[in-house]
Amino acid sequence: MSDLSYLYQEILLEHNSKPRNYRILNDATVSIEGHNPLCGDKYTLQIKLEKDTIVDIGFQGSGCAISKASTSMLTERVKGKTTSEAFSVFDAFHMMVTEPDKDIDHDLLEDLELLSGVSGYPARIKCAILSWHALREAIEGESGSVSTE
Ligand code: ZN
């Protein structure tokens, strides 16, 4: 195993054993469910929005290691950010997994780049991007649920 894939595994496992912001948000202003029936990933994102800032975010649910690590990283990455910053990260992440040959903004991605390995596997892309779609829908004021199918 190469050093990079070893690091990738370690961080993925670490997010799975200790997911960040894995909790109920009692003062959430918006809540949304994301479902990937192909894999069985199902998460509820709860966000506290104040004007254009994501002041707090939490998630609950279950799924595979990739979806859980991606959701955990998402909450870390967008907490405290404005919604437009979150959209920029969404765009960079989306491009990284769907069009990895394009010019990607690495500064925006930070440790999310560890998930770039999914780009060759369409089924895994759905796992990685599930909560990102849910986040975008939630910010755009859509409550309810999103599905990858
Ligand atoms: Zn999955």
Ion ligand 1: protein residues whose beta carbon lies under 5 Å: 39, 41, 63-64, 67, 127
How remote is the CA of residue 63 from the centroid of ligand 1, in Å?
A: 6
How remote is the CA of residue 25 from the centroid of ligand 1, in Å?
A: 24
- The pLDDT profile of the chain, 149 residues, written as one tens digit per residue, is 456 677 778 888 999 999 999 999 999 999 999 999 999 999 999 999 999 999 999 999 999 999 999 999 999 999 999 999 999 999 999 999 999 899 888 899 988 998 998 998 999 999 999 999 999 999 998 667 888 87
3-class SS of residue 2: coil
Q: Report d(CA 148, CA 24) in Å as an integer.
A: 24
How remote is the CA of residue 134 from the centroid of ligand 1, in Å?
A: 15
pLDDT at 143: 63
How remote is the CA of residue 62 from the centroid of ligand 1, in Å?
A: 9
- DSSP assignment of 97-128, as one string? HH-TTS---HHHHGGGGGGGGGGG-HHHHHHH
pLDDT at 134: 96
How remote is the CA of residue 50 from the centroid of ligand 1, in Å?
A: 31
Q: What CATH number labels 3-147?
A: 3.90.1010.10
pTM for the predicted model, two decimal places: 0.92
